[in-house]
């Protein structure tokens, strides 16, 4: 998809026959609306609630609605499917429904995109990899933070020759770390998660998407947690860089909830709240002048560049669907399907690293955990 201008769905010459699994609040707010700008025809929707499936189909112009996924896959001749069902609730516990549905779609020969989290265990990863290999179809997982335009710009800055190698990263994401007794508790009945477990699994994807986008694969994890749930994690990256992740509890909602700062040999790049990007090159010795004797802070040569959207015009870039990365992650998946290639960002490898890091947190604070790649 063109990163500057966007084509409405009806103007695309090539369109995919798409099915959608799930008609809940999140999909209604944030995923279905993005289809208006994707190269897709929404053929069918599926939900366990027949009335809701019919209403969502009518709202977004789907040709058909179903309550059984197998029937939808048999009847509809789909090129791709979007799966947004999340967790099945049973009292306070929850079970991730995504893995079974993804495997069913892939085994039916349908390229599949699924909202995060894609998996709850490494066994889920193995099942999806097997289904991908058998079908030869693309798989993608929702990593919207890796597609948010501000973070894409951050990655572009970091990849510039003048930035040099990435040496360190600091990330902030406002969520607590669960207590060990809750996070490491055995899953009930095989795959039913406690409230803490499904909360942490669901939300951890967001900072990890940015960490992997900019820093690459993670080698190891060490973290500490305060009694209140505030915590700090330290990652060593395969590249040799180091990264810290600040996970604060009870953070003020109007403060800077998310912040990423990347330091390289040539400068520092920063993103705040997904909307403000700053590039600050390291000043030269000539620009620095003589310490203790500089009378002006306004000299040219050491200034920062700042990018941020305006909100006065009816542009797509200042709308949540685009600003937060929903459109861009779905567009990248559609491009991969149309071009017959694997998904690059938000891939099964990304899903596997996320669950490995989740499992490392479950081993408890104060331990250095190797993620055991390869």
Give pLDDT tens digits for 52-93: 999 999 999 999 999 999 999 999 899 999 999 989 988 888
Residue boundaries of the structural domains of the chain? 9-142+334-344, 146-325+354-370
User: Per-residue DSSP letters for 89-147?
Assistant: EETTEEEE-HHHHHHHHHHTT-EEEEPSP--SSHHHHHHHHHHHHHH---EEE--HHHH
Q: pLDDT under 50 in the chain at which residues? A: 1-2, 374
Q: Do domains 9-142+334-344 and 146-325+354-370 have the same CATH topology?
A: no
pLDDT of residue 41: 96
The string of pLDDT tens digits covering residues 273-322 is: 999 999 999 877 666 667 777 787 777 767 899 999 999 999 999 999 99
Partners of 187 in beta bridges: none
DSSP H or E run through 88: strand 87-90
Is 9-142+334-344 CATH 3.40.50.720?
yes
pTM of the model: 0.93
**Selection from 9, 108, 20 nearest residue 57 by Cα:** 20
Q: Calculate Rg over the CA atoms of the chain.
A: 22
- Assigned fold of 146-325+354-370: Dihydrodipicolinate Reductase; domain 2 (3.30.360)
Three-class DSSP category at 17? strand
């Amino acid at each position: 998809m063109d990163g500057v201008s966007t084509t409405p769905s009806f103007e695309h010459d090539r369109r995919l026959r798409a099915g959608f699994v799930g008609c809940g609040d999140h999909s209604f707010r944030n995923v279905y609306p993005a289809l208006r700008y994707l190269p897709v025809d929404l053929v069918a929707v599926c939900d366990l609630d027949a009335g809701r499936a019919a209403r969502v189909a009518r709202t977004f112009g789907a040709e058909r609605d179903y309550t059984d996924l197998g029937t939808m896959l048999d009847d509809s001749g789909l090129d791709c499917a979007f799966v947004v069902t999340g967790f099945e609730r049973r009292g306070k516990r929850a079970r991730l429904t995504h893995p079974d549905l993804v495997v069913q779609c892939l085994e039916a020969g349908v390229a599949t995109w699924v909202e995060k989290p894609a998996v709850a265990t490494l066994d889920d990863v193995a099942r999806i990899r097997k289904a991908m290999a058998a079908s030869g179809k693309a798989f993608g997982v929702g990593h919207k933070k890796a597609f948010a335009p501000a973070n894409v710009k951050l990655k572009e800055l970091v990849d510039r020759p003048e930035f040099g190698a990435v040496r360190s990263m600091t990330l902030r994401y406002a969520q607590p770390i669960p207590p060990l007794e809750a996070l490491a508790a055995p899953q009930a009945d095989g795959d039913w998660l406690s409230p803490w477990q499904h909360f942490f699994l669901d939300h951890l994807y967001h900072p990890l998407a940015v960490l992997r986008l900019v820093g690459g694969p993670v080698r190891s994890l060490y973290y500490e947690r305060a009694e209140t749930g505030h915590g700090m994690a330290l990652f060593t990256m395969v590249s040799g860089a180091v990264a810290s992740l600040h996970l604060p509890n009870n953070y003020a909602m109007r403060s800077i909830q998310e912040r990423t700062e990347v330091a390289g040999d040539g400068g520092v790049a920063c993103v705040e709240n997904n909307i403000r990007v700053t590039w600050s090159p390291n000043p030269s010795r000539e620009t620095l002048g003589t310490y203790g004797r500089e009378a002006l802070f306004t000299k040219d040569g050491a200034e920062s560049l700042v990018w941020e959207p305006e909100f006065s015009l009816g542009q797509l870039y200042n709308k949540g669907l685009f600003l937060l990365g929903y459109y861009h992650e779905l567009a990248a998946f559609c491009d991969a399907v149309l071009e017959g290639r694997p998904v690059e960002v938000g891939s099964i490898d990304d899903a596997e690293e996320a669950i490995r890091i989740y499992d490392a947190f479950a081993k408890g604070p104060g331990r250095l955990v190797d993620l055991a790649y390869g």
